[in-house]
Structure 1
Amino acid sequence: MSAALNCNICFIGGGNMAQALIGGLINRGLPATRITVSDPVEKVRQLLQEKDVHVTDDNIAAIKDADVVVFAVKPQVLANVLKPLKGLFEGKLIISIVAGAEINTISNLTGTDQIVRVMPNTPALVQTGAHGLYATDVVAAKDRDLASQVLSATGLTIWVNTEAQIDAVTAVSGSGPAYFFYMMESMIRAGKNLGLDEKVATALTLQTALGAAQMAITSSNSPAELRKNVTSPNGTTQAALEVFDRAQISQNIQTALAAAQKRSQELAQELSDSTK
């Protein structure tokens, strides 16, 4: 984290994900005075100012002294935000967390190829994010390490080998929290149908999800092995899993993630076409 702590970091866009990263960086020891956030919304600037970071609505002024610039805006406004900044990124590392924005698209808008593309996910808001990162070979190892340090302030960082794999990351972890929330919703509803109070069903479901994730993270066994360890022959777990298998839940999950990956590819193409 030492390299990141000696940098001036600018965020273009101060929404939830930017705020998560800012909070994580400050908690890791980056002085708030080294952070600048540019956002057009006054309420957002006021909220961030409470963290003692510099705030502005002037993007050009915001990036002037930055070593690292994090793009954290909505995809649909990316072109309008970046076109006035083209040519102003010399000597700066760009980290983009803009969904669907390919490196070539960002490079054309900024005039630089010193870009790390990131697919984060919302658990970053509670410092348990899972971030997929990609950069071309023109980005030096020290800058890749710097990007890892910035993102690791809010969770796990995983580098992928090709930009196309970012679409797979989007399908697995970017959209992934919603799949688990969906499962939680269903289990809570089932608990209520079986006679449990909603608060009881909710508490049991959420703690079980947390415990299962923690076991999977800390165990030397794979999730498949852990599942088998919980499943006694002719027991209650087997009865439930047999229903899952008859409904082809595993196959349907794989089909669903493939659909998410395809949509990620489509959105990237749409964004690329709109910025030409």
Structure 2
Amino acid sequence: MTIYFLGGGNMARAIIAGLRAQSPDDAIFVANRSAEKNARLQQDFHVATDFRLPETLSPQDVLILAVKPQDMKAALQNVRHGGALILSLAAGLAVDTLANWLGTHRIVRVMPNTPCAVGLGVSGLFAAEGMSASDCAIAEKIMAACGVTIWLNDEKMMNAITAISGSGSAYVFYLMNALQKAAAGLGFADETARTLALNTFRGAVALAEQSGEDFFILQQQVTSKGGTTFAALTKFEECGVADGLTEGVHAAATRSAELAQILKD
């Protein structure tokens, strides 16, 4: 299987890293305008970037669309897909829209996130109507190399998974940054504050995964009424931290739907 990327930005790089970790010898080609990014991709992952995409593809190939949604239509103007399986990473671009631009319905929409770069990503997938089981299996294999895959039965749920996992790593980094700043504010050196924040999150995730307990139960196991954790959680409730997070996720989902409508129009 030969995999072609149209675009070589951060998300393409993350997926290439995941693929290379699983299958170091797979043929991967990247069509990208940035000479600097091309050089880094070649150096880090030994991919080819010196080829002309429109003259290359066949039905046995996979084309991964990794350019920005607002630039996609222009980027596809001269692309002849040759019947290749298409995986689109473009948020908000519906399968029907892509099908009209490309002249094929052999399309799987994918919403990955940047932890794909370390094999711990989450990718939501939605297949165009009538897609074969074998094509879905290929898409599954590619994205499973980068982490967990979630298949969606309704394309509208792409907005929801964009808001949860697609943007979700940024929410985690936001909280990690806040905890690091809090540690620094309590007198820890910057590097120590970073270590405390990073390993607190790492340990909590590992414990949650290993125990299989409900997150709320795990929270209660750390919290004694009147104790230090209780004091912190009480302040979080007073500040509306959980409500703010929920509202933020809904805002992300709403914005995803708005961008989809803009791109459709």
After superposition, residues 88-99 of structure 1 pair within 5 angstroms as 88-99=80-91
Alignment partners' CA distance in 2, 1:193 and 1:45: 41
Are the aligned partners of 1:38 and 1:56 in contact in 2 as well (CA < 8 Å)?
yes
From 77, 82, 86, the counterpart of 1:83: 77
Q: Which runs of 5+ in 2 are unaligned?
A: none
Given the two structures, how large is their TM-score scaled by the length of structure 2?
A: 0.93
1:133·1:160 contact (CA, 8 Å) conserved in 2? yes
Kept after mapping to 1: 8 A contact 2:88/2:109: yes
* Structure 2 counterparts to residues 15-26 of structure 1, below 5 A: 15-26=9-20
1:1-276 aligned within 5 A: 7-29=1-23, 31-32=25-26, 34-50=27-43, 51-56=45-50, 58-64=52-58, 67-85=61-79, 88-273=80-265
1:222-248 superposed Cα distances (whole Å, 9 cap, x missing partner): 111111111122211111111111222
Structure 1, 209-218 or 57-66: larger mean CA deviation:
57-66
**Partner letter of residue 47 of structure 2?**
V
Gaps of 5+ in 1: 1-6
Match of 1:4 in 2: none
Distance 2:56 2:204 in 1: 43
Moved over 4 A (4+): none
**1:3 paired residue number:** none
CA offsets per residue over residues 86-110 of structure 1, 9 Å max, x none? xx33532110111221111111110
* Whole-angstrom distance in 2 between the partners of 1:200 and 1:40: 40
Q: Deviations over 1:139-162 (max 9, x none)?
A: 111211110110111111111221
* Cα displacement string for residues 108-164 of structure 1 (whole angstroms, at most 9, x for unaligned residues): 110111111011111112221111111133111121111011011111111122111
In 2, Cα distance between equivalents of 1:47 and 1:194: 39
Give the Å deviation of 1:207. 0.4
Query: How many residue pairs were aligned?
Result: 264
| Contact map agreement 1:10 1:66 (CA 8 A) in 2 | no
- Kept in 2, the 8 Å contact 1:90–1:112? The answer is no
Provide TM-score, normalisation by structure 1. Answer: 0.89
Distance in 1 (CA, whole Å) between partners of 2:119 and 2:61 is 23
Question: Secondary structure of the equivalent of 2:78?
Answer: helix
Identify the range of structure 1 (241-250 vs 193-202) with the bigger mean alpha-carbon deviation: 193-202
Deviation, structure 1 residue 30 = 5.3
Partner of 1:54: helix, strand, or coil? coil
Report SS of the residue matched to 1:84: coil
RMSD: 1.8
Residues 157-177 of structure 1 deviation map (CA, whole Å, 9 limit, x = unaligned): 111221111111111111111
Q: Aligned partners of 2:147 and 2:21: how far apart in 1?
A: 13
Q: Is the 8 A contact 1:16 1:125 kept in 2?
A: no
Give the fraction of aligned pairs with identical amino acids, expressed as a percent: 39
User: Counterpart of 2:126 in 1: which secondary structure?
Assistant: strand
Does structure 1 conserve the Cα–Cα contact (< 8 Å) formed by 2:183 and 2:193? yes
* 8 Å contact from structure 2 (residues 58, 84) kept in 1: no
Change (3 A) 1:202 1:149: same
**Secondary structure of the structure 1 residue equivalent to 2:131:** coil
Return the alpha-carbon distance in structure 2 between the equivalents of residues 131 and 186 of structure 1: 26
SS of the residue aligned with 2:230?
helix
- 1:11-63 CA-partner distances (Å, limit 9, x unpaired): 1112222222223222212524x222211222333333333333235220243
AA of the residue aligned to 2:29 = T
